[in-house]
Amino acid sequence: MKTMVAALYTTKQSPFAKVKNGQRIRKVKTRPGDVHQIGATGTVIGSIHNDQNIVCYFIYWDEHPDVPIAMVDSPADMIEAIDDA
């Protein structure tokens, strides 16, 4: 038996996103059980928001570049934009 895995995400950008699509980011805070720890870097590929304007970012983390991971940005600001230049 084969196992299929599907990932639903968007490459659209929420108008409420503080971090824009294509921006490089760094994780600056974690929660218990987070796979990606402080200092992990990646690229935002999309974002959506709910009726309370809470934004969920879709990120390609550098250590898993082909797997879009959803991350809800909290008031604690879990990620920050970085400049790789």
Domain 1-85 fold is: SH3 type barrels. (2.30.30)
Domain range annotation of the chain = 1-85
Diameter over CA atoms, the chain: 47
| Dihedral pair phi/psi, residue 35, rounded to 5° | -75, -45
pLDDT of residue 8: 84
pLDDT of residue 76: 52
How far is the C-alpha of 16 from the C-alpha of 53, rounded, in Å?
A: 7
pLDDT of residue 80: 84
- Tens-level pLDDT at each residue, the chain (85 residues): 666 666 788 999 999 998 899 999 999 988 888 888 899 999 999 999 999 989 999 999 999 888 898 888 765 578 888 876 4
